[in-house]
Structure 1
Amino acid sequence: MRPIKKLLLLALTSAAFGTAGWAYYRGPVRQRAVVRQFTQLDLRLAANNRLAEQQDRTTIRGIKRVVGRNRNNIRDVAVLRRAEQIGFRTQTIIDTLQTLRRQLSTAKASTQNSSTLVTVAPASITVLAAHLDSYVAFIRQFVPNAAPLTQVFATYSKPSEFGAFYFKNRPLAAVLSTFTQVEAQIRRYSEEALMSQIMRVNSEGIFNMIALQAVAESKTVAPGAAYRSQLFLGQTISDGHFQKATVNGKPVQLLYPGHAKVELQTAPAGPAQPDTVRAQWQGVIRAEGYPSDTAWQVTVPYFIVKPTAP
């Protein structure tokens, strides 16, 4: 299984919050705990979505390069056009999601309270549901088993019910997480659709286009807090290669071939430490016998920022 598919299984776990999560109403302590769960889930899924977006772009560029090497024959050019259309339709629906999410994020910034109960305008959700259904109808050309994105359960199939279940009188953190979860599902469909196109073109050159990349949960971290990121190969090579990963020269565990989790503990702020400190880490993934011993490296900057006093 490719890394992004395993990562996006997180999206499936978030469905549990749709039912058990509404234990939110049992009291202030439970409310805070549930909001923290939604917030943490949202951070993980958002990082995975950025990773998926990078992988989709790498795949489309790979197809384009191979089509060029094959002298732009008609069959391969048609595959490239379909891949580009998949990328365009995916980004269009995600832009719609992110527009709604930004509007709610603005509300969050003004209230500074993720526990606030919100209701997204029914008209906005009706439009969103129509776009989601249209996208699934399109993507089924390439992923025939793609499930509806607006169907909560078998008995919840109408857009109005989709909106009522996820976007009516819900904690703000839960609504924001729902948008991120839906984006994760769209990214998963997009990846599967693009993989179907790879199989239709001479893809020998695509998987040789390997680059090491990193996607952080955030580019800033408070002193004394943990910085987290994902280190991954832009295209996965065979599981048969024995891969090793290091971060700042120290071994880290590969979760599966081509992908490692990065977690760095920052030191507490010293008395003379500036408000913002630029830092960086270096990741390396090695593969034995690809076709000879090979190492991919990446240097990733981040910032240690003192929290602003309330």
Structure 2
Amino acid sequence: MAGGRETPRQKMIGMMYLVLTAMLALNVSSAILLKFQFIDDSLTTVNTKTNKDNSGVLSGIKATVDESGNRPQDVRVVENAEAVRNQTNQMVAYIRGLREALVKEAGGQDPETGGYKNPENNERVNMLMIGGPGKGGKAYELEKKLNSYAAFLRQYNPNAPAKLALSGEEDVRVQKNKTQRKKDFAEINFEETPIVAALATLAQMESEVLKYEAETLSQLAQKVGADIIKFENIFAMASAESKTVAAGTKYKAEMFLAASSDAVTPTMTVDGRPISVKNGKGQIEFTATAGNYDAEGNAKKTWKGQVRFRQANGRDTTFTVTQEYVVAKPVMQIQSASINSLYFNCGNELNIQVPALGATYDPSFSASGATVVKGAKKGFLTIIPTSRQVKLNVSSGGNPIGSQDFTVKLVPRPRVVALANGRPVDVVKGMPSPGPRTLTVQAIPDESFKNQLPKDARYRVTQYTVYLVRGARPVGQVQGTGPNVSLGNLAAQARPGDRIAIDVREIRRMNYRDQTEVVPSDNSSITFQLN
């Protein structure tokens, strides 16, 4: 018969009851019987004080309602509180009537010692409270009254227990005791119990009744004036049409008082989604999404909020707020050596930033006609085109930002040159006979392409043939597979008037991934005269 949050006084009563229960299990001596009487006296004293305090709470409710002008809602609170007091008085009176019957069975109190004349007579307790084998004693009537009282309180105090009188199966204190859990309420509390212990048990039951009455009266007291919202926190606020204005234009705003109440715990939603509430203020935060932008790049939108709270009288109140806002189309800044074109099958590096998003910028990229590799830094990416047109899509935090179309260029062919002694061969003037002993053949990339994509502009001539030509026919040849090729055999045969012809068969390009690919041949060649 206990639970909920208890005051120190209530905790003391509970401790006394535990001591009482433990002492009932002992062989009762006269000293122990005297201790029971001490516990009973203490509980009775506390109950008298609690009863008086509860009467004071009722008087306080009446006085507050009278000062507030006896509003109908508050008058109903007084009527409910009076009903609780009346029911409690009847319950207490019934319990005290049982006490008087037990005292009479004990032979009354000895005027000299102050103790009961027959405190240990448990048979009289059994007959009065349990009623012998037929179980028609007063404890069964007490059980019904206690549980009816609990049901009565719950209509005003949901925290009140469903039952105040528990059987062994219902009482958590004895559920694990195989013997005690089989007993009913009367047997647990009064079977084989000395009269003085039974008196202490009844005092404890009375304390439980008074405790839950105190809780119920306290909750009723809080409902006085509950439909009047009292604002403890008042503060000034301002709402501007826009926080950003251009020079020469007007700044417009409204300034007003706002307030919140510690007694009101509102719930708030925005577009149906719940939001957190701090100090009575809803914290609105959401990611603005793209819309139907006008010619100036703005999209007008609205959000709808609801503030709902329940007053102490149980009535729900809801306020609705509709607020307009403007979503500005974010501007993408794309940094690249060539903003409008990309090179086919090359690692074109881009840096895409959206300054309007600031620190919230969290980009992701996708493309049609290309493969995208996200870079190590925010906004950096490498795009490898696989078709002649590429569409790059940019999002931030899952929200679309915009897209950009690119044309795709083919990689320009490199220029093949021949070097002798580290210097380019002059194909117009030629060289003195018998010509160079070693020749270097190189593929020189297009200057613009090299400047834009240096990692993709690495070439190597991998297959070529060097001919010694006399008249209209070759008289010797050497195969080359690398930059340098030895012409010793050809130089030994060379005569003035002969020509050196270089027929390039294969060039390879190394891309940004250090992978090589063959550059399609255009049957290019280099020819110079031996003078």
Aligned residue pairs, count = 196
Decide whether the 8 Å contact of 2:74 with 2:224 is kept in 1. yes
* CA–CA separation in structure 2 for the residues paired with 1:159 and 1:71: 55
SS at match of 2:120: coil
Matches within 5 A, 1:121-160: 121=131, 122-147=136-161, 148-151=163-166, 153-155=168-170
Could you say which residue in structure 2 is the equivalent of 1:248?
A: none
Q: Does 1:165 align with 2:167?
A: no
Matches within 5 A, 1:20-59: 20-25=22-27, 31-59=29-57
Cα drift, residue 174 of structure 1: 0.6
Could you say which residue in structure 2 is the equivalent of 1:97?
A: 95
Could you say which residue in structure 1 is the equivalent of 2:75?
A: 77
Could you say which residue in structure 2 is the equivalent of 1:15?
A: 17
The Cα offsets for residues 134-155 of structure 1, whole Å up to 9 and x where unpaired, read as: 0011112233233332115544
Decide whether the 8 Å contact of 2:24 with 2:197 is kept in 1. no
Decide whether the 8 Å contact of 1:8 with 1:48 is kept in 2. no
The unaligned stretches of length 5 or more in structure 1 are 204-310
Calculate the aligned-residue CA RMSD, in Å.
2.5
* CA–CA separation in structure 2 for the residues paired with 1:84 and 1:6: 26
| TM-score normalized with structure 2 length | 0.35
Q: Which amino acid aligns with 2:216?
A: A
Q: Which amino acid aligns with 2:44?
A: A
* CA–CA separation in structure 2 for the residues paired with 1:49 and 1:107: 23
Q: Which amino acid aligns with 2:18?
A: A
**1:104 to 1:19, Cα distance in 2 relative to 1, 3 A:** closer
* CA–CA separation in structure 1 for the residues paired with 2:182 and 2:73: 39
Q: Does 1:181 align with 2:194?
A: no
Q: Which amino acid aligns with 1:113?
A: N
Q: Which amino acid aligns with 2:117?
A: Q
Decide whether the 8 Å contact of 1:90 with 1:187 is kept in 2. yes
Q: Which amino acid aligns with 2:220?
A: Q
The Cα offsets for residues 218-257 of structure 1, whole Å up to 9 and x where unpaired, read as: xxxxxxxxxxxxxxxxxxxxxxxxxxxxxxxxxxxxxxxx
Decide whether the 8 Å contact of 2:156 with 2:216 is kept in 1. yes
| TM-score normalized with structure 1 length | 0.58
**1:155 to 1:64, Cα distance in 2 relative to 1, 3 A:** closer
Q: 2:222 aligns with which of 199, 204, 222?
A: 199
SS at match of 1:149: coil
Decide which structure has greater helix share: 1
Decide whether the 8 Å contact of 2:43 with 2:207 is kept in 1. yes
Decide whether the 8 Å contact of 2:61 with 2:221 is kept in 1. yes
Identity %: 24
* CA–CA separation in structure 1 for the residues paired with 2:15 and 2:154: 23
Decide whether the 8 Å contact of 2:168 with 2:188 is kept in 1. no
Q: State the 4+ residue runs in structure 1 displaced beyond 6 angstroms.
A: 157-160
* CA–CA separation in structure 2 for the residues paired with 1:100 and 1:84: 25
Decide whether the 8 Å contact of 2:91 with 2:145 is kept in 1. yes
**1:56 to 1:134, Cα distance in 2 relative to 1, 3 A:** same
* CA–CA separation in structure 1 for the residues paired with 2:147 and 2:183: 13
SS at match of 2:7: helix
The unaligned stretches of length 5 or more in structure 2 are 1-5, 109-115, 176-180, 227-531
Q: Which amino acid aligns with 1:86?
A: V
Cα drift, residue 86 of structure 1: 0.8
More divergent stretch after superposition (10-19 vs 96-105)? 10-19
* CA–CA separation in structure 2 for the residues paired with 1:102 and 1:159: 29
Q: Which amino acid aligns with 1:162?
A: F
**1:107 to 1:123, Cα distance in 2 relative to 1, 3 A:** closer
Structure with higher RCO (Cα < 8 A, 6+ apart): 1
* CA–CA separation in structure 1 for the residues paired with 2:157 and 2:24: 32
* CA–CA separation in structure 1 for the residues paired with 2:52 and 2:96: 17
Cα drift, residue 187 of structure 1: 0.5
The structure with more radius of gyration? 2
